[in-house]
Amino acid sequence: MHPAFSVIFLTTLIGVGQGLFLALYTGQVYTVFHVLSAQGDSRFYALGSVIALGFLVAGLFASFFHLGHPERAWRSAAQWRTSWLSREVIVLPAFMGCVFLYGAAHWFGWNAPLFTLGETLQVDFIMLVGAAGTLLCFALFVSTGMIYACLRFLQEWHTPLTVINFILLGGASGFTLATGYAALAAPELVGFYGKWAIIIALLAFVSRLASLLRNGKLKPKSTLQSAIGIRHNRIAQKAQGFMGGSFNTREFFHGKSLRLLRSVKWLFIALTFGLPFVLLAWGLSAGSAGILLSAFVVQYAGLMAERWFFFAQANHPQNLYYQAIS
Residue 139: inside a domain, yes or no? yes
Q: Residue 86: which residues within 8 A CB-CB, separation 6 or more?
A: 76, 77, 78, 79, 80
| Exposure letters 114-143 (e unless 16+ CB within 10 A, then b) | eeeeeeeeeebebbbbbebbbebbbbbbbb
CATH number at residue 75: 1.20.1630.10
Digit-coded pLDDT (tens) for 4-41: 889 999 999 999 999 999 999 999 998 887 777 766 57
CA distance 11 to 307: 8
Residue 325: inside a domain, yes or no? no
Digit-coded pLDDT (tens) for 106-163: 999 888 877 777 777 778 899 999 999 999 999 999 999 999 999 988 889 999 999 9
**Count of residues making up the chain:** 326
Contact 307, 6 (CB under 8 A): no
* pLDDT given at position 241: 61
| Domains of the chain: total | 1
Query: Which among 1, 2, 7 has a CA at the least distance from the CA of 166?
Result: 7
- Residue 123 bridge partners (DSSP): 115
Q: Measure CA of the first residue to CA of the last residue in the chain; give whole Å.
A: 21
Residue 131: inside a domain, yes or no? yes
Boundaries of domain holding 188 = 5-320
pTM given for the model = 0.91
Residue 27: inside a domain, yes or no? yes
Residue 22: inside a domain, yes or no? yes
CA distance 102 to 44: 12
pLDDT, mean of residues 78-98: 92
Res. 2 pLDDT band, cuts 50 70 90: confident
Residue 194: inside a domain, yes or no? yes
Residue 326: inside a domain, yes or no? no
